Amino acid sequence: MAKLHNSPSFLILTLLFLAFQVSKSDKTTPHKHHHHLEEEADRIIALPGQPNVSFNQFSGYVTVNQMAGRALFYWLTETPNHPLSKPLVIWLNGGPGCSSVAYGASEEVGPFRINKGATGLHLNKFSWNNVANILFLETPAGVGFSYTNRSSDLLDTGDRRTAEDSLHFVIRWMERFPRYKHRDVYIAGESYAGHYVPQLARQILRHNSNSGSNPIKLKGIMVGNAVTDNYYDNLGTVTYWWSHAMISDKTYHQLINTCDFRRQKNSNECESLYSYAMDQEFGNIDQYNIYAPPCNNSDDGSYLSSTRQTMRLPHRPRQTTRQMSGYDPCTERYAEVYYNREDVQKAFHANTTRIPYKWTACSETLNRNWNDSEVSILPIYRELITAGLRIWVFSGDVDSVVPVTATRYALAQLKLKTKVPWYPWYVKKQVGGWTEVYEGLTFATVRGAGHEVPLFKPRAALQLLMSFLKGQPLPKA
């Protein structure tokens, strides 16, 4: 036998067998290997001034449209507790035109908060990555670090393209992170993401029914202080102002009788009523949390108008004064300093193409040129309920921008059967808010929270997420 081993025919057979094995493995491994390399290239070693953490983070770009050169920026913060067994939650902020890195990640549900003066980061102990893997997506192109090489894109964006690009992002991101391909997926967000989240969910369901293979395992959506329906949002907002003594009886009745809340653009008469309410009657308050101190002074004592000062929601008549508030009413400013630092961008694998403008929390260009906005999201809710998705809608009750009354008016139009009647829910023996469970949807308020619920009530917001992911009603005690 020993002779045979050295015989030429045996050697040739051995070589052929090895070659066959290599070519067979070639079909599968380089592909896997390639993704592994792509994923590793996106790994964040550490952000400048970041405390030590035991979880993995990745960030980078996914091209969503080759021709136009549109690429969306993401930041994934995995959970330190068995990330492979935990679901993926995709977080979106609204605006339209505002960044999920600036708000969701840095002020609300992300693992870090930015220090005063943007010198570094400290931990947020109520971070949502305590219980799930959180993926922050800056969408559409033109928001935050996400970019397009076709500058006309910034002047004609809207709901439709945002949903399409976000779908392409999810599909391609999962190619890069195959371990997430068969994982449960949830989408969450707030404010104008009241459009993005249901619209992206609808795109995913359509994709799943068309693609057959490799469906995205979308299980549910959750939105907070969500823009939902132009008519009911406007009616509910004006009603909130009046019921919270922000405007006079006279202005309230004039607004109700003069304004056509169904229209995107207001008449001059209605416009001037809104202006009167805001300029003469509101006073210097933070409309995003009517009981919080506004951020008035910049460090040199001059009045600082921040990015969102000139922003407007599609259902809102004109620009509203925007001042951030929370524990520190000026956090938005630190984000703008921090994410423009070159060392931060480098650690983030961000701005690799050298975007010709500064990173900002919100893009006024996108906001001003938003050209398609669905008048009502209620038809999409009906579709998603029929599809059997878990749907939660929550509302911080001291927000006057997309107030709780607006959400309640809008949801009432769905005429859903009540499963669990209205009751107070609790966080650490205190009433966290109120909730009602319907066939197909759960509604919850968060007591004392402003527009960005997790900023003002981080513990309650984490409780919301945990109950939502378990599909259980909020705690009664």
Q: Which fold has domain 57-229+373-470?
A: Rossmann fold (3.40.50)
**Residues whose CB is less than 8 angstroms from the CB of residue 17 and which lie 6 or more positions away in sequence, other chains included:** none
Residues 139-160 have pLDDT tens digits of 999 999 999 999 889 998 999 9
Residues 120-143 have pLDDT tens digits of 999 999 999 999 999 999 999 999
**Per-residue exposure over 87-105, b if at least 16 CB sit within 10 Å of its own CB, e if not:** bbbbbbbbbbbbbbbbbbb
Give me the residue spans of the domains in the chain. Answer: 57-229+373-470, 230-329
Contacts 24+ apart (CB under 8 A), 242-248: 243/405, 244/290, 244/400, 246/277, 246/281, 246/282, 246/285, 246/290, 246/400, 247/277, 247/281, 247/282, 248/281
Which has the higher per-residue pLDDT, 330 or 173? 173
Q: Is the pLDDT of residue 23 over 50?
A: no
Same fold, 57-229+373-470 and 230-329: yes
Active site amino acids: 191, 399, 451
Q: What is the reported pLDDT for 292? A: 84
CATH classification code of 230-329: 3.40.50.1820
User: What distance in Å separates the CA atoms of residue 225 and residue 454, rounded to the nearest whole number?
Assistant: 11
How many CB atoms are closer than 10 A to CB 6? 8
Q: What is the reported pLDDT for 10? A: 56
User: What distance in Å separates the CA atoms of residue 242 and residue 229, rounded to the nearest whole number?
Assistant: 20
Residue 394: strand, helix, or coil: strand
In this prediction, residues 31-50 reach a mean pLDDT of 84
Confidence band (pLDDT; 50, 70, 90) for 304?
very low
Contact in structure between 308 and 99 (CB atoms under 8 Å): no
Contact in structure between 130 and 355 (CB atoms under 8 Å): no
Q: What is the reported pLDDT for 25? A: 40
Residues 396-433 have pLDDT tens digits of 999 999 999 999 999 999 999 999 999 999 999 999 99
